Amino acid sequence: MGKTVQIIPHITDEIKRNILVLGQKMKYDFVITEIGGVAGDIESLPFLESVRQLRWELGGDCINVHLTYVPYLAAAKELKTKPTQHSVKKLQELGIQPDVLVLRTEHDINEDMRKKVSLFCNVSPEAVIQCKDAPCIYEVPLRMQKQGLDAVILRKLGMAPEATNSDLTKWNNFLAKKQSATEDVKIALVGKYVELQDAYKSISESLLQAAVYNNRVLKLVSIQSENLTKENVAEALQGMDGVLVAPGSGPRGVEGKIIALEYCRTHNVPTLGIVLGMQCMAIEFARNVLGLTDANSTEMASTKNNVIDLIETLTVVSSENEYIRSGAYDCEIAADSLAAQIYGKTSIAERHRNRYEFNNAYKEEFEKAGMRISGVNPETGLAEIMEIPSLKWYIGVQFHPQYRSSIEKPHPLFVNFVKAAIEK
């Protein structure tokens, strides 16, 4: 409103507000905030300054945990702590003193080297923790607990003067299940970002968790949707126990997803479509079952049969902020549907990030032909879940279930999807 906006205090105050609001309004006991990059990065400076201020303002209710890399020089056959010392020195120049150091390494760091790091970085010896490579990422927290990281943090926050034993029973049970599984379940992940290792990380981890709870080893096969054609789709999906069609945006690779979904639907392959994956389910069904050969999403092309359309053309919105659904939205599920059976209830809330939705003008036509809209948002009536009851397992969702899956509580959609894939 015509006033001067400065990095300090306006932007730093906003950063602090966003960190603190989780504890103040949501009443969380702990708020963990990660600042990525390297100490001294220009783009990180406002965030580091905000953390410096928070540490000063909150006193004993705030600590800084600094992660550094300890390289191993193969020629000299030794680890080098100089990068850690320089990184800590850089932070100290910015007014931040790490309370805990976590040393990322491929080799064990001996006690003498830890004492050296402790002395040169002004960090207590018990607060210098090594994070060595592990065969499985889920073993890392257990290794850190053995070194007392949890107890050190609690003591430094004044919450536990003596070391305590964390209850990681469920975590250990998960690892035991993972290590005991011997049989495979083969899932195809059809998407257009499959060359990027972490593009679908939350999905692949959700599938892994679901496989473990089904006593199986996940064999995930990534398939580039751009390369799929009607001529090669059978070969590409042959031998798959289940197929997951990934989310995304833009027209690239969409036709390949539609081809994959036609194959899955006509061959009764257990299939899960997430957001754009669900939208492609609707497009494929409209084209090949309803005979609407030009059916498409307005995100991809201008068409008469826009079975997928923008929110603002499908609902009454009061501001531009409502042109996108972001965050958790309620969903009411039909009691006699497969989705209700999977969730074990008819009222859920799931996380969204989308502007395009199923066009309810086609709902009656879809349901007459066998595609059921089994979950809807109670406020807007927008489709949240669609399924084909006549098939073994064919479900599309307009939300991101992978964001609610965890080791201790794997998402029921993924668990049931993998179970159906195994039974196939």
Q: Quote the distance between the C-alpha of residue 370 and its chain's center.
A: 32
CA atoms of 127 and 110, how far apart (whole Å):
14
CA atoms of 44 and 237, how far apart (whole Å):
44
Which two tokens mark 2?
């015509």
pLDDT tens for the 424 residues of the chain, in order: 788 999 999 999 999 999 999 888 888 889 999 998 888 788 899 999 999 999 999 999 999 999 999 999 999 999 999 999 999 999 999 999 999 999 999 999 999 999 999 999 999 999 999 999 999 899 999 999 999 999 899 999 988 766 567 788 999 999 999 999 999 999 999 999 999 989 999 999 999 999 999 999 999 999 999 999 999 999 999 999 999 999 999 999 999 999 999 999 999 999 999 999 999 999 999 999 999 999 999 999 999 999 999 877 666 555 555 578 888 999 999 999 999 999 999 999 999 998 999 999 999 999 999 999 999 999 999 999 999 999 999 999 999 999 999 999 999 999 999 999 999 8
CA atoms of 387 and 187, how far apart (whole Å):
19
pTM for the whole structure:
0.88
Question: Is the CB of residue 270 less than 8 Å from the CB of residue 424?
Answer: yes
Q: Quote the distance between the C-alpha of residue 382 and its chain's center.
A: 24
Residue entry with tokens 């004492």: 115
CA atoms of 327 and 134, how far apart (whole Å):
34
CATH numbers and ranges of domains, the chain: 7-170 (3.40.50.300), 182-423 (3.40.50.880)
- For residue 365, CA distances in Å to 93, 292, 361 come to 66, 11, 8
